Amino acid sequence: MATSSEILEALADYQVQCNNNQRLRKMQRDWSKLLHFVAKDTGDGFTMDVVRGEITGVRSGLVGTPDVVVTAASEDLCDMFWGDLNPSQKYLRGEIQVKASTEDVMRLDAITMIIWPEA
């Protein structure tokens, strides 16, 4: 199990990776969403604000009404944010659950796809 601080550390790195990737910023320039991440084994929740493709904030706790909710094991969340895990494979096996529109699911996966294409 990954602790809340481990996931926050991973999220902080994820934020830097995303915001520094110009290709991703261009692709996501119209994408402004509020995302919730829920660790199903620990019950920890995290909120991420994306404004025009830029991650403007990540914090502990579930704040606001989200556009996207991602539920996964804490270890998977942590590995996903570090880019060590291909989220599509977990998603296709039902181990990562997403509540969102088809387009938002695609956009979310696109982030990993662009930053870590070999993941």
- Binding of another protein by 110 (CB under 8 A): yes
CA distances from 63 to 5, 59, 84 (A): 18, 9, 27
Amino acid at 39: A
79 lies in the binding site for another protein (CB under 8 A): yes
Instruction: Please give the DSSP secondary-structure letter assigned to residue 3.
Output: -
CB of 115 to another protein, least distance (A): 10
Asked if 22 is part of the footprint of another protein (rule: CB under 8 A), the reply reads no
If you write DSSP's letter for every residue of 12-55 in order, what string do you get? HHHHHHHHT-HHHHHHTTT--EEEEEEETTT--EEEEEEETTEE
Asked if 90 touches another protein (CB under 8 A), the answer is yes
Q: How far is the CB of 74 from another protein (least distance, A)?
A: 11
Residue showing tokens 């996931």: 7
54 binds another protein (CB under 8 A): no
For residue 66, the SS3 value is coil
Q: Please report whether residue 63 would count as binding another protein according to CB under 8 A.
A: no
Smallest separation (angstroms) from another protein to the CB of 56? 17
Q: Which chain residues interact with another protein by CB under 8 A?
A: 10, 13, 23, 26-28, 34, 36, 62, 65-69, 75-76, 78-79, 82-95, 97-103, 105-107, 109-110, 113-114, 117-119
